[in-house]
Structure formats: structure tokens, C-alpha cells
Structure 1
Amino acid sequence: METEDEAVQLPFVGSFDRRDGADALADKIIRTLSFDLQDFRRGQRPGAPKGFAYLRERVEAAGIFVLLIGNLGSHHSALNVELFRGFALADPVAPFVVINDQDSDTAWSFTLLHELAHIFLGQTGVSGSKAGTPVEIFCNDVAGRVLLPAAELARQYDLRDAPQAEVISRIAAIAANRQVSNSMVAYKLFREGLISHEMWAAVTSLYRQQWLQNRNAARVKENDRGPSYYVVRRHRLGDRLLKLSRRMLTEGALSPSKAAAILGVKPSNVYALTETAA
């Protein structure tokens, strides 16, 4: 990008002071992305969970590269989501968000917004292993405010004395049609003081176990009729990186070997991978 005189600094990277509050940053992110919550909730694209493709599209349009990477090259080297849910590179010219796609796909949107908050704060780093630190809680709160505004929870009744079955039922009802995970709703209810810390920990553990069971069952059912290598790879790399690589290849600014290093593929696969990127 520097070689082609496209190294334009993005004004929002590192533009926010955490002392101004989570509400202010959530509003700034919404304005920067021209994000519409109703479009997110009804948005659907092939090959991605509802809503995430719309959000990713808005984030990439703002100049950020969004990748899905959950292993070091094969499923044998899968990265534990407890240690790595995502990370942000807060570079002012080429900021990146990487999401661990080993996590539930309903959690990807929350992780993307969490990492986006880090970019607005100008902080490069990995999220997941230090979930209880003030900055991680702050970024969680920002993501939660974007996807599930406090006004939508204002009408919810206090569940602190409710049995677990009632809490789980209420969480499912709130999550329905909002394109958010049950775990995220549980976190929001906890942060709003509608359920106790103990209940939040209990239902989060339950959701985690359910997800692991469903993921393992899905792997057993996998067969050779799944998406092609190139479809999967394109989905993980995202349109922004593919289109930039394609254009730079066409203009001679990137060699196939350098493009292969950027895209994580063999040089012989570069043109086939980028052929649909306009």
C-alpha cells in the first residue's frame, strides 16, 4: 500500500479515550461504520451466520481487514478459544482483526466489535486470556451496547431470584431473532444487574458445554461434499484482503510469491484464489 501511494491513515485508529465511556465509543463505532442494527439482524449472506457478513462488510468498508483464523495450518493445530478469541492490530494504515473461527459462529460478531473497540483505543493485542481486566470488560461492554442496546433490556424483569430454567428460557427469548449468542445475552443481563454473578457463570458454563457437544457432533457428520478449498479460504480471508491482493497482482505491485505469503497459500494457488475478487 505504501509502494502504491495508498497508505492513508485512518482517523479512527487510536482516536478514543476510554475515560469517555463505553456508550460514547459504541455510538462512535456505529457512526463510523454506518451500522444499522435492523439490517444486521435481518442480514444474511451465503456461507456466514446471519448478521456477521453484514457487520464484516461494514467493518471492511471502513478500511479494516477482517480474517477468520482458528489454527496454525490444519485442524490438528486448532487454537483454544479460552486463550484466543480474537486479536487486533491497531495499525493506522492497515488495521487487522483476526477472529478465532473455532469459536461459535454466533459469537463472531461480538468478538469483531470487541476487537474493533481495541482499534479505536489504539491497542494491539490478543483477547481471551485476560477477560477480567478493565480494558477487556470495557471492550465487552462496547460490543454489547452495539448489538443489544440497554433500552431493549430496560423492559426485562429482575431474574436474580429466578430458577436457572427460567433464566435460560428468558435468555433464549431475548437472543431469538437478534443474531447474538445466548452467552452474550447472559453477559448483558449480568452487567445490567438482572442476574447474579453465580447464575451468569453457571449458564455460561452450560452454553459452553452445549456448544462443544454440538461442534463435535457436526465434525462427525462432515463429509466430502462440503465447500471447496477456495470457498473456505476466501471466507476466512475476507473480501478486503482478497480484492487488495488481486488489484496489486494485476498492477504488478505484488509478485505471486509475495501474494502467497500474504494470503497463506502456495504461489500456484494465488490466481485461482483471487480470481473472483473484483
Structure 2
Amino acid sequence: MAVQVPVSPDVLQWAVERSGKDFETLVHAFRNLPHWLSGDTYPTFPQLEKFAAATYVPLGRLFVEVPPEEKLPISDFRRIGGAADRDPSANLLDTIDLCRARQDWYRDYMERVAAEPLPFVSALASNVPAEDAAARMRQDLGLGPFTRPRASTWDLAFSSLVDSVETLGVLVMVSGVVGANTRRKLDPAEFRGFTLSDPYAPLIFVNGADSRAATIFTLIHELGHVYLGESGVSKPDHSVMTENEHERWCNSVAAAFLMPAGVIRQEYRPVSPGTPSFSKELDRLAFFFKVSALAVLMRLKETRIVEFADFSEQFELELARAKAASESRPDRSGGNFYNTEGRRVSKRFARAIIGDTVGGDTAHRDAFRLLGIKTTSTFNELGSRMGVA
């Protein structure tokens, strides 16, 4: 008879909840799981190894007596007044850990090539007016005050902005899954992005599972955190009011960056609020600026371009439309691996680590691990696509 391993049912329950997986799915894989959780029986060591892998928990953590208390390794900017803290998911924690490992490598690389600290990191403070901060950021990115995303599609507009931010020196990683594991999807309801600030290797992660309008706003929002010189997890959301002053500032800066006051004032075609025509005008401006209709609504109010008799009613209407659109949005996952890999790990990072590996200064196993690839042929093809190998 196989030897059973006495582990705490509370710890096993913690692992189940932390994984974010449906309980029935886990029971299908481990038919004795209900008995393990009740303490009637224990798993064998091989079963425990498989359970740890299935729940994304390091095996050693399953041998503690009480569930570990996990905290975010960076600041949490998502707090809402009166709301209870939410434990971070395994997917979020593992994504942050992977990005920190990539950032550590890139920082060492930048120091080896004698790079200078980037002047825009920590260049601003939250008492700088949002319009002034947005103007500074647009200038640094080489965008004039009246430049908007001119691409014909949301994806092209987003890619153009990502390339501009990377040219500035920021690592921008966009993915809707943990690493390269397509079974571990990230949840926009938990977070939309995070920033790992560093004078040599600032990093922005954008949750690619979100809508394209949201990812565009999140990218510039997180860039605001880079200019403040702070690291943290964000969830830019026009439907709630965060208690974090810096988060509100980054929201305002992103809105001013993407919808300059002078441009939106010039482009807005006056329509009576509360009518179907007004919602259509919001949609038109949303496509023009490549943001959400809700973001346009907030900007029109913030700049006092439109005076609302009952803003809350209009807000609830647009919020309902946004939620309906979100529920019907198709899944954007998948696509050609080589076309998405550069965006997932950052083109700037990929080119640096591939070139350094080809040059003999980084081991292939380290490059494979950080890039999320397994074979030399994939590495060589990716290098060729990146113009490196």
C-alpha cells in the first residue's frame, strides 16, 4: 500500500483557492480531493507532487501547518475606500515574479554596457498638473500636442504606442496569460497592469486579456507611475474611485495624454446628453482617440466641455454599455507565436538577451527560461525575426 503523506487540510484548501481553478475541475483530476480536505485520508507523495503542479504551489509550501500569508511584493494601487483587501492570485504573483526576473537580467545587462540612468524615471511628482505631466510625456515620446493614434485599427494604435514607449527605454510586456502557459489566463477584473520602476530598467506589464481600449489607457497610466518612480499593481477603472492619490493622478495624466483638452474641445460635436445621438458621439470620439466611450465621457466632464444636468444617469448608461460590450468581446488569445512573442516579453528585452546569448555572455538555459521557449530552433527563429541572430 502506498504511503500517505499527512498534510494540513487547511493548507490544501488554501492551495485550491489560490489556484483560481474550478473545484470540480480539480476533483476530476484528484478524485480523493474531498477526502483530503475533510482529513479522512491523505495523498501519497506522487499525488501531492501532481497536486502542487496543478495548483501552481511550490511543493514545500504544502508541508506547513497553517496556510502561508502571501502579500504582493510591490505596492497595491487598486485599493477602493471601504473595500476589503483581496489576496493576490497565483497568476498575478507568478507574473510579477517572472517580470522581476527579466528586469533583474536587463538591469545587469544595462550596467555591463555602461548605460546611463534614464532621465525620465522619477522625473515628475504627483503635484504636477496632469496637463503639464501629459505634455512632458508626449514630448519625451516625440508626440506633438495634437498627435493622436492615427492607425486605422485599435491594435495598430496600441502597437504604435508600445513601440514609442519602448524606444524611450521602457520594457513593455503585454500578455493575457502567465508566461507562455495559455491555460493560465490573467483576469482583468483582478488587475490591468503593473509597473516595476528602475532607473536603468523600468518595466510596464499590461494585461493583454483586457479590451484594447483598456490596454491603451493602462499603458499610459503605467507610464505615469514610471515618471513618478514607483512600483505597484494597478487597475485603472472609471467606474470606481480609488483612494490612492497617485492612482488618481495617473488616471488624469493618461486621459490628458490620450485626449488633449484642446483636441477634444475641437473635435466634439455638440449633442444633447442623455440621447442616443450623444452615445453615438461618444463612440465616434472613442474611436478617434482610441479610448473607451466611458473615458471620453469622463474627459468631457473633467474639461467642462459638456455640462450635464444629471451626470450620474449618463454615467450609469455608459457603464452598462461598457459592461455589455465586455461580455460580448471575443477572446484575442492565440495567433502566430513569433508575432506575439516580441510583445509578450518586450521586443527591447528579447533583442538584448538574444544578442547577449549569441555573444556568449548569457547562458542559453537562462535565455530560454526568461523568454519562455524550449528549443534552440525556436530561439534562432525568434532571433531572426527580431533582427538579432
TM-score by length of 1: 0.85
Q: Which residue of structure 1 aligns with residue 383 of structure 2?
A: 274
| Displacement of 1:158 | 7.5
1:41 corresponds to which residue? 149
Deviations 1:43-96 (A, max 9, x none): 469xx7132222111111111011112222434322221221111111111011
* Long gaps (5+) in structure 1: 220-225
Q: Which protein shows a greater Rg?
A: 2
- Once residues 204 and 182 of structure 1 are traced to their aligned partners in structure 2, the CA distance between those partners, rounded to angstroms, is 9
1:206 corresponding residue in structure 2:
321
Find the counterpart in structure 1 of residue 263 from structure 2: 152
After TM superposition, the structure 1 = structure 2 runs for residues 40-79 of structure 1, keeping only pairs within 5 Å, are: 40-43=148-151, 49-72=155-178, 73-79=180-186
1:204 to partner: Cα distance: 2.5
Residue type of the partner of 2:164? R
Tell me by how many angstroms 1:142 deviates. Answer: 0.7
Q: How many residues align?
A: 268
**RMSD, aligned α-carbons:** 2.7
Letter in 2 for 1:85: R
In the TM superposition, 1:153-192 aligns within 5 A as 153-154=264-265, 156=268, 162-192=273-303
**TM-score of the pair, normalised by structure 2:** 0.62
**Paired AA for residue 196 in structure 2:** L
Gaps of 5+ in 2: 1-108
* Residues 112, 170 of structure 1: alpha-carbon distance in 2 compared, 3 angstrom cutoff: same
Say whether 1:109 aligns with 2:249: no
Judge conservation of contact 1:243–1:274 (CA < 8 Å) in 2.
yes
Name whichever of 239-248 and 189-198 sits farther off.
189-198
2-side partners of 1:192 and 1:205: how far apart? 23
Report the 3-state secondary structure (helix = DSSP H, G, I; strand = E; otherwise coil) of the residue aligned with 2:326: helix
Distance, in Å, in 2 between the alignment partners of 1:37 and 1:50 is 20
More RCO (CA 8 Å, sep 6+): 1
Contact 2:192 2:234 in 1 (8 A): yes
CA gap of 1:239–1:38, structure 2 versus 1, over 3 A, is: farther
User: Is contact 1:84-1:128 (8 Å) kept?
Assistant: yes
The worse-fitting range, judged by mean Cα deviation, of 183-192 and 81-90 is 183-192
The equivalent residue for 1:222 is none
Distance 1:260 1:82 in 2: 31
